[in-house]
Structure 1
Amino acid sequence: MSPAFALIALYGLVFVLHLIVPGRRVTGYVRDEATGAPLRYRLNGVRVMALTVGLYFVAGATGLVPWDWLYVHRAETLATACALGLLFTLAIVLPAAPRRGLLADLYLGRLANPQWLEGHIDAKMFLYLIGAVMLQLNLLSFAAHHLLLYPHDPSPGVLLHVALFSFFLWEYLNFEEVHLYTYDFVAERVGFKLGWGCLTFYPFFYAVGLWTTAALPNPHTPAPLLGLCALLFFTGWMLARGANMQKFWFKTRPDKLAFGRIKPEVLTDGEKQILVSGFWGLSRHINYLGEIAMATALALSLGYPSEWGPWLYPLYYLVLLVPRQIDDDRRCRAKYGALWQEYERRVRWRIVPGIY
């Protein structure tokens, strides 16, 4: 089977699993543009990930597919994913009503929250699921290639990198409902940025550290430095997950003490409310700082100082999140008016407390 056809079959398998595996139904924060009713979502990400990864291990253990097949055929599978992302973009954007202009619509999208099969499939939810599953498979395959090359002297940094990244992916899918309240679902539309991004960029570029280091020998990074990488990663995770969880509880159960300790302190004009306590009193986008810290830890964990590839990942987060912070502040300023200005006076820092 050609690598191109195999990747298409793999994407199709994840779609079928997402379609048939039982999931729970939840109501999200976003409302349907036509009816104004809150959108409903069907969530089964962890189960689909578990089944797909389980099949990967069965295929590897039985010799049906080499453990490092995705690494060996990374160029062909990346090219195929690029083509699928472009086709998806054209298919979801062109039939919809124009908004800005063709190029802008192709990139940013026209439809806000497309759902199919009477809501059984949500486009954004599926895109993030396929991206997470494929990234997990790439990480496992790339690490397998390293272990096959150096079975007696593998790099602990490579193993730590895969372990931390895998934790990130499984944890993300475990909290699928929380992410329904984040910028991606609230503000973005489905076009090239999101469609090609999840079908191609997310599963392949996020693994860029292993693209450039999986075939390198053990750099013998001292264990204390690897421990500091893990500490930085979980510090970032606590900032990102803590902020998102606090916001989720505030949106769904506004009287609940976040983590049983943090009282929800708000700015209000009688109608609208802005959370200013806990994580959201540290900076206006403290979760972005957490994402950048995790990405930096993942780059550091590989321990190859002469390699620039791993640093593309945290650099990407800077390029992504700083403009997103500016756009999100603009949206909130328009939505909340004077209340947001008061929040900016109350919480001066945009992302990094004391710096930016």
Structure 2
Amino acid sequence: MPPSELRQRNTGAAYESVLSSTSTDGAKTAAAEAAATVRSEHASNYSEGTNFVEGGFESNPILLSLCVAAPFTSLLMAHVTSQDMATQYPDMARYPISGMLAGCMDAPVECWNGMQAAAFSASPQGGMAFILSFMAVALVLERLLPGKIEYGPETATGHVPRYVDNGVPHFVVYTILFFLGSNLGVANLYDFGIMYDLFPESLAFLNVFGIVFCLFLTYKGIYFPSTQDSGSSGSFVKDYLWGTELYPQVFGLDLKRFINCRFSMTFWMLAGFSYCYRSYTLHGQMDWGLFFSALSQYLYLVKFFFWEMGYMRSIDIIVDRAGFEIQWGCLVYVPAVYTFHTRFLVQHPSGFSFAPAFVLFCVSMAAVVLNYMADREREIFRATNGQALVWGKPPKYIEAYYTITDRKTRAKQVKKSLLLASGFWGTARHFQYFFELTAAWTWCLLANPIHNGGLPLSYAVFLTILLTDRAERDAKKCHAKYGKYYDEYCELVPYKILPGVY
């Protein structure tokens, strides 16, 4: 028997994509409401005011380990790619096993003392002015740039996030301002390589800022929440790591979007070219591996800002509360890890000539384009309520019903989502992750790990683990929300990321 709710066309007004909990159409027809009511006995429960998936360290020991080790590790990663490291230990970073690990095994106490000294060698005060200025420009653009009003998915308590969709003008204006303000532009306020020169100090400040900021978020979510999607678990450690509020705001500023997108993604976007310039001034020639890696990442993030509203409907936003895991991660871990391979090349050039670097660049861009096509396919499906063709055919999807409970009135309401099972989304539940991973591995391969050792692969390895875990978390979220309807969807789309493999 085929899944009971499989349809070729949408017959209702409200819907969602497989990664979204959007249900913004509050004016269902009487017929649709009646149909939903009849089906409510089969709808899965949608936990009130809480995340869809279990979270916190007691259910994810890997997350706890990362959170404990991450601040120190990030500082070490900043030092490993610094000018000081290259001067004190020439080429040591290229031999992480035979050099670093072997040395630590021979003299563990001296190694530990050396790592501590290296990690805390950079002063937070040295990077404070740059980071605060970087954030201030992003804040001004966030407030001033116009854009269409968009809405995120409705939460379990009935809150509908509101956004000004100005991501595209943000990245255009910020890129121009960063160039014009440098020695390459007209203002000559700073050297274009400043993001490399001040990186250890900047990351030291971001670590301090991020830890304090997350303490503020923990306190605010308990005592001064912006929405009802908040509250304490009873454990301070869990509250701090996982978060106490889903959509924190201060003076109308969405803190989650500002940190995740306007700071984190913008820093990542511009860092590659800043590193590329510093490499050129140090070595007197263009490093094509670094250049094409920086260019591909920049274009990938251009795609991100075009798709920003899709991100605001993703699991990072609609499920994960604003705690250490997400907010500190975007403030510190993204600059430290996501730019590591390009930052590594400043002191250790890839050695690639134009031709092989360009081939890898083309592979990365093909992955970026396919990733965008997958995201766009889902957006069109959402915008047309399932009426648009997918790969030239009417889309297959599951009609999934779930219930929400109003915290104040205790009234229950039945909602409906459409789970797309065609095109990219019928190939695997997160086929877009495969394209993201292809791009990530290509960027790291442009650092020539055969010549430079395994450390430049850090980002690709981390992202592989992250997206695999995210696919698992999304499955838990969707199963908790949709129940048997998600089981039916999984029968149609059995693989999570790569067909035939996983």
Q: TM over 0.5, yes or no?
A: yes
Corresponding position of 1:83: 208
Distance 1:113 1:331, change over 3 A: same
Corresponding position of 1:219: 351
CA contact (8 A) 2:341 2:456 kept: yes
Corresponding position of 2:280: 147
The answer on 1:281 being equivalent to 2:426 is: yes
Corresponding position of 2:150: 26
- Counterparts of residues 290-301 of structure 1 (less than 5 Å): 290-301=435-446
TM superposition shift of 1:78? 0.9
What is the one-letter code of the residue matched to 2:218?
A: V
Corresponding position of 1:313: 459
CA contact (8 A) 1:219 1:304 kept: no
TM superposition shift of 1:95? 2.5
The answer on 1:9 being equivalent to 2:133 is: yes
Corresponding position of 1:343: 489
What is the one-letter code of the residue matched to 2:467?
A: L
- Pick one of 171, 178, 202 that aligns with 1:49: 171
Q: SS of the residue aligned with 1:124?
A: helix
**Could you list the per-position Cα deviations for residues 198-236 of structure 1 after superposition, in whole angstroms to 9, with x for gaps in the alignment?**
22222332110022111224513461x334423432332
TM superposition shift of 1:111? 0.7
CA contact (8 A) 1:135 1:207 kept: yes
Higher RCO (CA < 8 A, seq sep 6+): 2
Corresponding position of 1:242: 373
d(CA) in 1 for partners of 2:387 and 2:357?
Answer: 37
The answer on 1:114 being equivalent to 2:260 is: no
What is the one-letter code of the residue matched to 2:243?
A: G
Distance 1:250 1:99, change over 3 A: farther
d(CA) in 2 for partners of 1:75 and 1:292?
Answer: 27
Corresponding position of 2:478: 332
d(CA) in 2 for partners of 1:302 and 1:248?
Answer: 34
CA contact (8 A) 2:272 2:343 kept: no
Distance 1:279 1:262, change over 3 A: farther
TM superposition shift of 1:2? 4.2
CA contact (8 A) 1:246 1:258 kept: no
- Pick one of 145, 160, 165 that aligns with 1:38: 160
**Could you list the per-position Cα deviations for residues 84-130 of structure 1 after superposition, in whole angstroms to 9, with x for gaps in the alignment?**
21121111112322125211211121111223434xx2222211221
For the pair shown, the structure with the greater C-alpha radius of gyration is 2
Structure 2, gaps ≥5 residues long: 1-124, 223-231, 402-415
CA contact (8 A) 2:127 2:203 kept: no
What is the one-letter code of the residue matched to 2:307?
A: F
Distance 1:33 1:15, change over 3 A: farther
CA contact (8 A) 1:89 1:191 kept: yes
d(CA) in 2 for partners of 1:281 and 1:33?
Answer: 27
**Could you list the per-position Cα deviations for residues 309-334 of structure 1 after superposition, in whole angstroms to 9, with x for gaps in the alignment?**
32011111112111111111111112
d(CA) in 2 for partners of 1:162 and 1:332?
Answer: 36
How many aligned residue pairs are there? 350
Q: Which moved more, 1:160-169 or 1:233-242?
A: 233-242
Structure 1, gaps ≥5 residues long: none
Identity across matched positions, percent = 23
CA contact (8 A) 1:233 1:298 kept: yes
What is the one-letter code of the residue matched to 2:445?
A: L
Corresponding position of 2:113: none
- Counterparts of residues 91-240 of structure 1 (less than 5 Å): 91-97=216-222, 98-99=232-233, 101-118=235-252, 121-127=253-259, 128-151=261-284, 153-217=285-349, 219-221=351-353, 223=355, 225-240=356-371
d(CA) in 2 for partners of 1:71 and 1:145?
Answer: 7
- Pick one of 263, 277, 281 that aligns with 2:394: 263
* RMSD of aligned alpha carbons: 2.2
Distance 1:47 1:203, change over 3 A: farther
CA contact (8 A) 2:449 2:455 kept: no
Q: SS of the residue aligned with 1:214?
A: helix
Q: SS of the residue aligned with 1:65?
A: coil
